[in-house]
């Protein structure tokens, strides 16, 4: 009896220790595709995401159309995040709104403590799925099984759907890419200026 108990405990320890751990890269960029969870949502939204925790900064660029061969991107709105603030920017009108004061860039540790939900396939690629325990509003985080590259995060309740990350590039981001525009030095109050999303 003690041999079978040892065998069962050994098997349990192997299963527990084999579960992967999620990682949010310290510095990366990706093309993102926002997929709505609403049945009448219309076309997908896509853009570019930049993140570098060493610079305490992140940026989202939302495109109105695919970039053309001249790299004209048609950016309709941008979100800039610093250590403690988030700004919405209309780059064409050069307007900026302070969207959140006291809420800054996400930290890579937000995935710490995520529950492993198992393997699945996403866009025909094997992925590991995790549930990030954000109180009252958990999100699911998918990474490529072979190397842990981010593939998808589900959106929060006020924005049902998901954000897929494609064309992921790991590494430090240029400071000029993450620098907030001059218009954000004197931003408009929330509700008056541009709003993204």
* The 85-90 sheet, strands edge to edge: 95-101, 85-90, 75-81, 57-63, 45-52, 27-36, 161-170, 150-154, 139-144, 125-132, 115-122
- Residue 52 per-residue DSSP state: E
Residues in the chain: 197
Q: What is the CA radius of gyration of the chain?
A: 20
**Consecutive sets of 10 residues in the chain, 197 residues long: mean pLDDT of each?**
49 55 94 82 82 96 72 80 94 92 88 94 95 87 95 82 93 96 91 75
Whole-number Cα distances in Å, 182 to 38, 59, 89: 36, 15, 10
Predicted pLDDT at 110: 86
pLDDT of 73: 66
Domain boundaries, the chain: 22-111+164-185
At 40 the pLDDT is 72
**How high is the pLDDT of residue 133?**
87
């Amino acid at each position: 009896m003690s041999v079978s108990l040892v065998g069962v405990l050994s098997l349990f320890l192997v299963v527990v220790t084999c579960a992967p751990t999620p990682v949010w890269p310290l510095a990366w960029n990706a093309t993102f595709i926002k997929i709505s969870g609403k049945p009448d949502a219309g076309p997908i939204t896509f853009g570019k995401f930049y993140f570098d925790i060493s610079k305490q900064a992140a940026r989202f660029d939302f495109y109105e159309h695919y970039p053309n061969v001249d790299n004209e991107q048609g950016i309709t709105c941008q979100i800039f995040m610093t250590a403690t603030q988030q700004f919405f920017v209309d780059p064409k009108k050069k307007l900026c709104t302070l969207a959140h004061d006291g809420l800054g860039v996400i930290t890579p540790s937000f995935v710490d403590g995520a529950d492993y939900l198992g393997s699945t396939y996403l866009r025909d690629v094997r992925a590991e799925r995790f549930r990030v325990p954000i109180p009252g509003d958990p999100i699911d985080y998918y990474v490529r099984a072979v190397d842990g590259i981010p593939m998808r995060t589900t959106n929060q309740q006020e924005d049902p759907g998901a954000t897929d990350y494609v064309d992921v590039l790991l590494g430090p981001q240029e400071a000029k890419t993450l620098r907030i525009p001059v218009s954000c030095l004197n931003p408009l109050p929330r509700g008056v200026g541009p709003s993204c999303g």
